[in-house]
Amino acid sequence: MEFAVLGTLMAREGNVDCTPSAPKLRRVLATLLLRANKLVLTETLAEELWQHNPPPTAMATLQTYVYQLRKSLGADGRDREGMIRTRTDPSGYVLNVDPEKVDLVRFRSLLGEGRRALEEHRPERASDLLHRALSLWQGPVFGGVRSGPVLEGHAAYLEEERMNALELRIDADLRIGRHRELVSELKSLTVTHPLHEWFQSRLMIALHLSSRRGEALETFHRYRHVLQEELGLEPNHEIQQVQRDILNCEPTSWYGIDRVYPSVR
């Protein structure tokens, strides 16, 4: 059975959609998938479902939800009793699944491999792995689920992981000379995230390496103006160093990412 949380919540066995339709069951499934093959405490599930005000019958109701979820995951006629195992000490549930069938697990595995490849100076390999990792994202995480505090917190964390993967992938693509292809993507990212200094600096680099030095410098001045107007701050040292390198026409260090990128993120 395949599961997805990086977009619309989905549980599928071949062509059979086993995703529960009831809102509370979807929240239970999403919470269990966050820690696939690991124990999820009943307290965690109760917090997600009822926040800090569980009803007196919370544990019995939760047992009913798990029973219904097992039935939903058995929509293809198979016995799913062993898929969600009950633990009593400590009290909780374990969703037993093939890790390769969960998009979140695959994403984190590819992200880790891509990061290591970049640290080992294998940018082509890193680019391929990170492109594959990001392709698993099909929309906002936990799509179609009315999230409670547990899922909302994890959604913010997962979005940070996605942004980290995106930054690493852009680094890898810059290292293998894809600066021209990156310009339009980075322009879009700087519009969506106008105060994200990392995207601004990489747009400047991509523009300059594409023989668009004037636009690169305009990007810096525009960002500096926005930063001063919005927060009363000056750009940090790294992006100012990028500006100085562009003014001095020193692009060679950028291919090695040693000067402009003091450490691999």
CATH number at residue 46: 1.10.10.10
CATH number at residue 187: 1.25.40.10
Question: 78: domain range?
Answer: 2-99
| Residue 147 within any structural domain of the chain | no
pLDDT confidence band for 263 (50 / 70 / 90): very low
In a domain, 143, yes or no: no
Nearest-5° Cα angle at 169, 165 to 171:
120
Alpha-carbon span 144 to 25, nearest angstrom:
12
Our count of domains for the chain comes to: 2
Which of 80, 99, 118 is where one domain is finished?
Answer: 99
If one compares 73 and 182, the residue with the highest pLDDT of the two is 182
Task: Determine, yes or no, domain membership for 169.
Answer: no
Question: Residue 52 contacts by C-beta under 8 Å, 6 or more apart in sequence?
Answer: none
Is the residue at 170 inside a domain?
A: no
Task: State how far the Cα of 91 lies from the Cα of 39, in Å rounded to an integer.
Answer: 9
Q: For residue range 57-107, what is the model confidence (pLDDT) as tens digits? A: 999 999 999 999 998 887 444 555 568 888 887 899 999 999 999 999 999
Residue 58 domain flag: yes
Percent of residues, the chain, with pLDDT higher than 90 = 83
6 with 95, same domain?
yes
Work out the pLDDT band at 251, boundaries 50, 70, 90.
low
What confidence score (pLDDT) does residue 264 get? 34
In a domain, 161, yes or no: no
In Å, how far are 66, 151, 260 from 61, measured between CA atoms?
9, 19, 56
Tell me if 154 is assigned to some domain. Answer: no
Which of 71, 99, 127 represents a domain boundary (last residue)?
Answer: 99
Question: Of the candidates 51, 70, 99, which is a domain's last residue?
Answer: 99
- Tell whether 22 is covered by a domain: yes
Q: Is 182 helix (H, G, I), strand (E, B) or coil?
A: helix
